[in-house]
Amino acid sequence: MATKYRELVEEMLATAGIQVDGKRPFDIQIKNEDFFRRFMKDGTLGLGESYIEGWWECDSLDEMFARLVQTNLLEVYKNRLLLIFYYLRARLSNVGRKSQAFEIGKRHYDLGNDLFQCMLDKRMVYSCAYWEGAENLDQAQEKKLDLICRKLDIQPGMKILDLGCGWGSFIKYAAERHGVKAVGITVSEEQVKLGKEICAGLPVEIRLQDYRDVEGKFDCVVAIGMIEHVNYKNYKKFFKLISNFLTDNGMFLLQTIGLNKTLLEPDPWFEKYIFPNSMLPSIKLIGESIEDLFVMEDWQNFGTDYDKTLIAWHQNFLNNWEKLKNNYSDRFFRMWKYYLLMCAGLFRGRFVQLWQVVLSKKGIPEGYHRNIH
């Protein structure tokens, strides 16, 4: 039976041009023969867990995953029982409910500010950078922040709300460069602690708060990499709240990772190890949720830029591991490496996208024609 499992996996990988124990960087090197049975039994969860445990190696995980998604193999070899469980959970419960809002903060964003300081750019932007004309990560993230300000036509004196503000990178940039006042909210205690230090002396307030508890009116609202934690059952309420937050002439910018097709269940490995209670939206889910609330002014996709961003984060992580390893285990090292490089491969293979969507509350009378791209 063990031989049969190996044959099945070898045949499956071959369709993506990947060889077992081959010599190319994207080929997989087997260290434990039990890998084959585990992968066939547990699908993508088993694939990720067995990597963390050192059962297999690959010199270029990112390229391996790009090849796997281009042939749809990750979708085919998911654990069906787990997918049924997550699908039923998505249908029967609301994992984005308010009582669970802070779990993602505790389990992911509170891992340690030292980790993110070593991995991210100097402004600590934990979302996709914009690489057009940029030579490095710092420049690419600043270009992304500038792009958002231009898309929203940010002007001095405006009041801005940042939902899921992280360490305050965007509102700090907008306050310094454009003279705005801003409120940022996050569900991470560690982000609030460091964010307040980073933004000290600016007209910027960073709060530990769920988006459903925000009050007030704002000229612009942004959600940069935040809706992934909202859950589709809450999308309509989420967008209604944003409409209520905005002044009549206000605009909202949504930046999100997006799926090419609607999937309500998460990947089991990501759910367990990286982003609990999270899901990615599709065009359909967003479109249905903004009907009768907004005018869609602009929709830009620069998903391939996330590949470059993740590779830069991974390189920073590797370069700084000596500083981090006393606080994080070797198992964490393999898990985090797998997370970053798998995601890079998913974007490279165009399995997932990165969207910036600009919505106006009433429609811009003269039209949205600024030279922003």
Tell me how far apart the alpha carbons of residues 221 and 239 are, in angstroms, rounded to a whole number. Answer: 11
How many Cα atoms are found within 13 Å in the side-chain-facing hemisphere of 290? 21
Helix (H, G, I), strand (E, B) or coil at 344: helix
124: left (phi over 0), alpha (psi -120 to 50) or beta: left
Tell me how far apart the alpha carbons of residues 336 and 342 are, in angstroms, rounded to a whole number. Answer: 10
Tell me how far apart the alpha carbons of residues 99 and 76 are, in angstroms, rounded to a whole number. Answer: 34
| Single-letter amino acid code for the residue at 288 | E
Query: Does 220 participate in catalysis according to the annotation?
Result: no
- Residue 295's nearest CA partner among 257, 255, 248, 229 is 248
**DSSP letter string over 72-108?**
THHHHTS-HHHHHHHHHHHHHS-TTSGGGTTHHIIII
Tell me how far apart the alpha carbons of residues 333 and 340 are, in angstroms, rounded to a whole number. Answer: 11
Among 58, 165, 220, 343, the active-site one is 343
Instruction: List 29's β-bridge partners, or say none.
Output: 57
Beta strand 246-259 pairing with 352-360: antiparallel
Active-site residue list? 343
